[in-house]
């Protein structure tokens, strides 16, 4: 062991304040960038949908975050991989904002600054992070017949008012797929090969399938997310899709601007996650909490 470098890691459950719920994320603390092959090996070893690597950059005066899937794909955008990484740094009491302007907190991901705001839950004292995603860009619609077949559903199952499967983007382009009710949402049997073909043909990443609850329900929608293009069969919580969805629903008058809603995800995986979302004039807020489930050392 003498000639091997030890790196500390946490495993957190993100978009949850209970262990073994939410979306698990491994966060590895480094002293700077590692070789690409090392990132790939560690992400593959953990086997979670994503592994984030963090260090404080004195040059950038910010926390630097890089995230990889087990297949070696480097992930962009403000999702559970970023939220969990920031929570991990705050749990570890790294001073990630002290050299920044109080009204302009940010972290760096793939050389891009991503603005965010943080607080602490008054009861649990866990960090609560809100990521500020870009305003929503609504792209093209994809025929329901194409999507339904790839999800093992009938075309009629994809009927929610006037909503159609639509590519939407804040950080990353995903397709928003309306599903008639929870039963059909849970009945989805994705054909990964076909989903990958559709993603490549229409130039987007993942499929965010959602059903809208009635007004009495505490959450606005329940969702499932499939992104086999980057090696994620199903994800328990997806911030880069939740942001586009609340923007899309607000544009279509299903939700109100400047109002906080909660998206429920991960139920089918028995990893229920709650993602707090809000569509504002110039950005979209995506937030939540995380809890440490494991910590330890790994060796390179």
User: Which residues are tagged catalytic?
Assistant: 50
Q: How many Å apart are CA 2 and CA 134, to the nearest integer?
A: 46
Q: How many Å apart are CA 68 and CA 66, to the nearest integer?
A: 7
4-8: long-range contacts at Cβ-Cβ below 8 A with a sequence spacing of 24 or more? 4/299, 4/300, 5/299, 5/300, 6/297, 6/298, 6/299, 7/297, 7/298, 7/299, 7/300, 8/295, 8/296, 8/297
Bridge partners of 261, per DSSP, are 277
Q: How many Å apart are CA 233 and CA 71, to the nearest integer?
A: 12
For the chain, how many residues are written? 300
Q: CA separation (Å) from 109 to 3, 106, 112? A: 30, 10, 5
7 in Cβ contact with 53 (< 8 Å): no
């Amino acid at each position: 062991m003498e000639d091997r470098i030890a790196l500390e890691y946490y495993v957190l459950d993100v978009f949850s304040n209970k262990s073994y719920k939410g979306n698990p994320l491994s966060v590895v603390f480094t002293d700077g960038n590692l070789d690409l092959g090392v990132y790939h090996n560690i992400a593959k070893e953990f086997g979670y949908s994503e592994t984030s690597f963090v260090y404080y950059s004195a040059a950038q005066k910010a926390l630097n975050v890089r995230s990889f899937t087990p297949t070696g794909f480097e992930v962009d955008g403000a999702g559970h991989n970023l939220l969990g990484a920031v929570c991990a740094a705050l749990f570890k009491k790294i001073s990630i904002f002290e050299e920044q302007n109080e009204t302009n907190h940010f972290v760096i991901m793939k050389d891009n600054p991503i603005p965010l705001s943080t607080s602490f839950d008054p009861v649990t004292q866990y960090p609560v992070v809100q990521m500020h995603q870009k305003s929503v860009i609504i792209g093209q619609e994809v025929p329901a017949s194409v999507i339904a077949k790839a999800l093992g559903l009938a075309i009629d199952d994809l009927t929610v008012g006037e909503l159609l499967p639509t590519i939407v983007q804040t950080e990353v382009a995903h397709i928003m797929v309306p599903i008639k009710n929870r039963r059909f949402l849970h009945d989805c049997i994705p054909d990964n090969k076909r989903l990958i073909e559709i993603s490549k043909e229409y130039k987007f990443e993942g499929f965010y399938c959602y059903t809208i609850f009635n007004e009495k329900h505490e959450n606005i929608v329940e969702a499932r997310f499939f992104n086999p293009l980057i090696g994620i069969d199903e994800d328990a919580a997806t911030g880069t899709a939740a942001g586009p969805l609340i923007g899309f629903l607000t544009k279509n008058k299903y939700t109100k601007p400047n109002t906080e809603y909660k998206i429920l995800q991960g139920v089918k995986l028995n990893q229920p996650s709650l993602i707090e979302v809000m569509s504002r004039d110039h950005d979209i807020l995506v937030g939540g909490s995380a809890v440490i489930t494991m910590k330890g050392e790994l060796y390179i």
